[in-house]
Structure 1
Amino acid sequence: MRVLAVDWSGDARDARRRIRVAEARPGRLRSVRGGLDRDGVGDLLLALRQGPTPAAVGLDFSFGLPGWFARAHGAGDLPGTWALAAADGERWLRECPPPFWGRPGTRRPADDPARPLLRRTEQEAGAQGLHPLSTFQVGGAGAVGTGSVRGMALLARWRAAGIGVWPLDPAPGPEGVLVVEVYPRAMTGPVVKSSGAARAAHVAADPRIPVELRDDVAATEDAFDAALAALGMAEHVDGPASLGASADPTDRLEGRMWLPPRG
């Protein structure tokens, strides 16, 4: 199975400059590259689907929204949420109606157990010591909402074209592509990713990264995240390769991150 990871971008005008795609096998980074916009990532997935080897592709954006929000807007499953994002996502990003926040003049909603800002999978990641942010946050440091909303709007199109989306779909057989939601911080460790020197030191100490790729990996946070996510997935390739479709109603409504085994 081929293993790739995409560091995604929700940038409306310059996603091509930010998106990075890395490929790895167990114990070795094979490549990291840029030059694709969001539609280009879709083209890559379709090209992989035509290849002779199955592929698992990690995407670092939220595949869904908290269940209470989805249900309140008439969505009973992930495809319903993707349809919402395709129809209303740009308005959410432009007007930032509650519970979205992050634009000037908006504030983070107060905590409400009946209307949590995190999905169940994000809460579970938090219990493991990780710190995923709410998809409702569409601006500010580390915000993931913009990229996620624009990514959700594409997932239905990709799935209709034959790309599997976990947890709705199982790992492919001898051919095909499955995309999974990943959280790169689970695979980078506690390195200060905003520091170029820290990234370079981390890369230099990682024997899985060939010398000829070190500068490219350390050059930006985007490349660093893509490379380490691909390596993390490849180290546990039996996990993505054996994923089954989830029957859990919350998984099928909110989505679920793939995280590497602990320990």
Structure 2
Amino acid sequence: MNIRFLFCFLLLVTGFCLAKAQTVANEVLSQDSIVLTDSTGCKYLVPVSVLSHKVEQPKEIQPIKKTKFHRPQRIDREIMEAVFIPKGQWLAGGTVSYSEHNEENLNFLVLKDVDGLGYSFNVSPYVGYFFRDNMAAGIRFAYNRKHLDLRNFELNLGEDFNIDLENLYYLEHKYEVSGFLRTYMPIGRSKIFGLFNEVRLTYGYAQGKNSTGAGTEYDGTYERSHNLQVGIAPGMAAFVTNWSAVEVSIGVMGYSFKWQDQKSNQIENGKRNTCSGNFKINLFSINIGMTFYL
């Protein structure tokens, strides 16, 4: 009895499924359909409504925006707001210095019987152009000559240590060329007084000779040298007219490299290489010059 009931139930379920499948197939066949063939040769009946159905395209993935690192806002101190020298002007000027000394039978502390004379001469013209307000670039030339003729010199440090020199002679010529960048800063709102700083790159070439003694005891050395210097020269400008100013500047502070070649008595050769850094303000190296603004 149970087996017959189970068998009858399975037949009913199978019949119901077949009827439902037939109904779906009839609905599909009742629609407008086309036959499609795949690459293997199998044919498929596909309703036109299926083919005309628009498939929604996936939305474009938006790139993740990178967040910028926000730096602290810079404080504008309005130091360069005032125009001291406007753009488009030319500057031209130069510095000249000369010093001379003459000693006769001079005695000072451990120095005895000093007899000699010497001088130092320096001239440095320059020209520049203001490519921005308060900022100029230009070129500078310099010539320096040093001369010393020491006929007698005695250093007395006691009975056991004495230095006595006679007929000491020294002469040097030095030529330099520099490229510079100069920036000005007015003092307050003044149109007359202002500060400036000059950055320089300098190349120099020098020739010199020194000798001691006389006659058969004469000893002489000839020297050539090259030097390269990178430094700064701060100063102050004061306008005396609308187009001219007096400038006071301090000696160049920075790094210096020097190469020297020597030949003594036309026989012996010597070399010397030096490098140094100097960022001290030397009040004895103050330069005074005149600059014209055109």
Structure number with the higher strand fraction is 2
State the TM bucket, normalised to the shorter chain: under 0.3
The structure, 1 or 2, with the larger RCO (C-alpha pairs under 8 Å, 6+ apart) is 1
Structure number with the higher helix fraction is 1
Question: TM-score, normalised to structure 2's length?
Answer: 0.23
Question: TM-score, normalised to structure 1's length?
Answer: 0.25
Larger radius of gyration: 2
